[in-house]
Structure 1
Amino acid sequence: MVCLGVMAVAGTGMGVERLILAALSLLLIIVGLRYGIRFAGVLMLDRSRHKLLWELLVKNSGALSLFLAVVTGRSLLAYATIPENLHFAFQKTLNLSAIALAALIAIRMMLGFSKLYLRRFNINAADNLNARKVHTQVRIIERIAIVFIVLMAGVTAALSFEEVREFGVSLLASAGVLGIILGFAAQKSIALIFAGIQIAITQPIRIDDAVIVENEWGWIEEITLTYVVVRLWDRRRLIVPINYFTEKPFQNWTRQSADLLGTVYVYLDYRMPVEEIRMAARQIVESTELWNGDVCAVQVTEFMKDQMQLRILATANSSPETYDLRCYIREKLLEYLLNNFPEALPRIRLQKEDS
């Protein structure tokens, strides 16, 4: 691409030595532009209040310098004395290169802005509900913007050819029939994209939500325009079409807040004093940092034939901590019963009557 700009400016009648010298000169100009933009950005990072813009310029200095070189070559092409067919080839190449580089710069700048913006919202915090909302919306908007930029760049590049423009005019004459055919062919793809936009607006799920999908428990790891990645508890990944979350029921454990109420059921003999279990459960949850200090309750929820059912409730700040807290309560409660009330464990009674 650099050589094309050089040949366009210098013409075809120059010697090989002059052509190589011109190519090296233009290459040095591109390198100088890159490091000039980078140096200016680094310098302004310390002096300007608009650090976001200058940080993005530093990260995209290579693409920006190449884009400026292509635009400069396209402008100087009008002054070149070369054959018409070669002029046309150089012009199209530089135009397509400028379009591709402009799309690349737009995507990288957009992703850079969103990445820097998301720094304000820590998704790893204990109370991360608002951060998860923002991350979900930004991620989906990023993908919509990328699709739009690539589509616009493709259309712009295609319309730069006369043959494509003439073909487009003929398509407009049969736009009704063609629209129906394309509508049926792309029905599912369009439905998926609209489902992604709907989720971005209504947010039935968010990044890092704890969900149960298809009887599998996990966390929302990634949301795209067409599918959702669920990270399961055993580190597997469940890939689900995005319209699943708009058409089918599922469980979202962290829809309103990250803290959860954990439940532990224990079955004991009727001779077990309930108040002793209540005090033991309180001591167990207070001995661990997994409990958030909100709820701790013990209730007798059912009488059975040979035993009673007790339900222990305790809260934690997140779904992983809730799961660990439930396991911790079971382990410590079993240890407590074996050491203090072994006779309270469930047993089957047999009574023999004399005939």
Structure 2
Amino acid sequence: METENFQSPWTVVAGALAATLIAGWLLDLLLRRADARHPETPLWQLLRRCRLPFQVVLCTALLRASYRWAGILPDHPVGLGRFLTLVLTGSAAWLAVRVAAAAVDATYARYAAVTEDEARVRRVRTQVTLIQRVVTAAVVVIAVAAILLTFPAMRTVGTSMLASAGILGIVAGIAAQAALSNLFAGLQIAFGDTVRIGDTVVVDKEWGRVEEITLTFLTVRTWDERRITMPVSYFTSKPYENWSRGGAQMTGTVFWHLDHSAPLDLMRARLSEVLAGLPEWDGRGGGLAVTDTTPHTVLVRAVVTAKDADDLWTLRCAVRENLITWLAAHHPSALPRLTTSDASPVPGNAAGNAAGQGPEDPQGSPPGRS
């Protein structure tokens, strides 16, 4: 009889573990077969990540239901039951988060596969990411509350706190004003479509691409791979540039300071040849004109277009380099020069200059005399 009592708890534990392993294997087998039959959706493949939390939930539930009958740790039934309840609650929350993440990721993947508009894809990605974070936060809060309520002392504290909920709510609202502001700003960004993951933005004179959006902060990855982390409330209260808003296509400029004798018509023809050979140019526009002049140079501007900010930067650098190289090789006189010699004499004053009468300075005295 003592031997049976000694073996009974271990038999129950071994049976629970065996049932858990078999159920996990069967679940994975069914999901693999479903994934093979429906390759158009990644849902079944993503649900395979739920195998481990499912096994933990199943094993804990079996032990929770049979630990008293099996006589597992008979001297500590209350402590063991509470421990198994805590593990079951936490693993159930873990499973719920995994299932929600799989559903959200599958929905986004299917939408991205059939939608050609990149802006809409980025908008949906931003929304589903924030929805997933909200669901995760809600599940975690519920799980923590359920865990705390398993302790009798916490239930007593909770009952007493309800009496002063109004005062505590006011105090908490004042203390968490900034956090709540960022929270609502994050929801406004998600569903207001003001900024999305993948957008090219300029904030505080820094331009980069939005890499991550959460309910409280936003991360911008700059062109030199730095990360700028800003509260999401910044994007609902201050102006910023969104180069991807309404489409990623952009127009850029390239400037040269050249001599007044620069061959502008030849430069326009050369610009057309250079643009035709660059894959970053989208063909929407490309022109060249003089936009300003100084006593020593003229300011020549080229206007080029590209499909996004990254291609535009590469295109501008390539056009600038090609035109400068071409001018230096074929028209060096078009590059800016610093005049260090006297100007040519004016015809008609040659006799006076030969007699030693040079041009007068602004004060009326010949050069070299005071």
| TM-score scaled by length of structure 2 | 0.84
Q: Is the 8 A contact 2:47 2:102 kept in 1?
A: no
Is 1:220 equivalent to 2:218 in the alignment? no
How far off its partner does 1:56 sit? 4.0
- The residue correspondences of 1:305-320 to structure 2 (distance < 5 A) are 305-320=295-310
How far off its partner does 1:231 sit? 1.1
Question: Alpha-carbon deviations, 1:12-42, whole Å to 9, x = none?
Answer: 9954334333322221111111112112222
Relative contact order: is structure 1 or structure 2 higher (C-alpha 8 Å, sep ≥ 6)? Answer: 1
The counterpart of 2:285, out of the listed 295, 299, 302, is 295
Report the residue type matching 2:294 in the other structure: M
The 3 A distance-change label for structure 1 pair 122 and 320 is: farther
**3-state SS of 1:264 partner:** strand
Q: Is the 8 A contact 2:28 2:48 kept in 1?
A: yes
The separation in 2 between residues aligned to 1:314 and 1:76, in whole angstroms, is 74
Query: Percent identity, aligned pairs only?
Result: 31
* Greater Rg over alpha carbons, structure: 2
The counterpart of 1:250, out of the listed 216, 229, 240, is 240
Q: Is the 8 A contact 2:34 2:44 kept in 1?
A: yes
**3-state SS of 1:188 partner:** helix
Q: Is the 8 A contact 2:290 2:301 kept in 1?
A: yes
The aligned residue for residue 351 of structure 1 is 343
The aligned residue for residue 9 of structure 1 is none
The aligned residue for residue 195 of structure 2 is 205
The aligned residue for residue 88 of structure 2 is 98
The counterpart of 2:36, out of the listed 46, 57, 64, is 46
The 3 A distance-change label for structure 1 pair 288 and 208 is: same
**3-state SS of 1:293 partner:** strand
The aligned residue for residue 183 of structure 1 is 173
Give structure 1 stretches of 5+ with no counterpart: 1-11
Q: Is the 8 A contact 1:231 1:237 kept in 2?
A: yes
Question: Alpha-carbon deviations, 1:43-86, whole Å to 9, x = none?
Answer: 33334699655434432122112212322333345756789984
Is 1:338 equivalent to 2:328 in the alignment? yes
The 3 A distance-change label for structure 1 pair 263 and 49 is: closer
**3-state SS of 2:305 partner:** strand
Deviates more, 1:24-33 or 1:316-325: 24-33
The separation in 2 between residues aligned to 1:301 and 1:126, in whole angstroms, is 39
The 3 A distance-change label for structure 1 pair 50 and 23 is: farther
How far off its partner does 1:127 sit? 5.9
Q: Is the 8 A contact 1:52 1:113 kept in 2?
A: no
The separation in 1 between residues aligned to 2:170 and 2:17, in whole angstroms, is 50
What is the aligned length? Answer: 343
The aligned residue for residue 156 of structure 1 is 146
Question: Alpha-carbon deviations, 1:183-218, whole Å to 9, x = none?
Answer: 122122111111111111123221111122222221
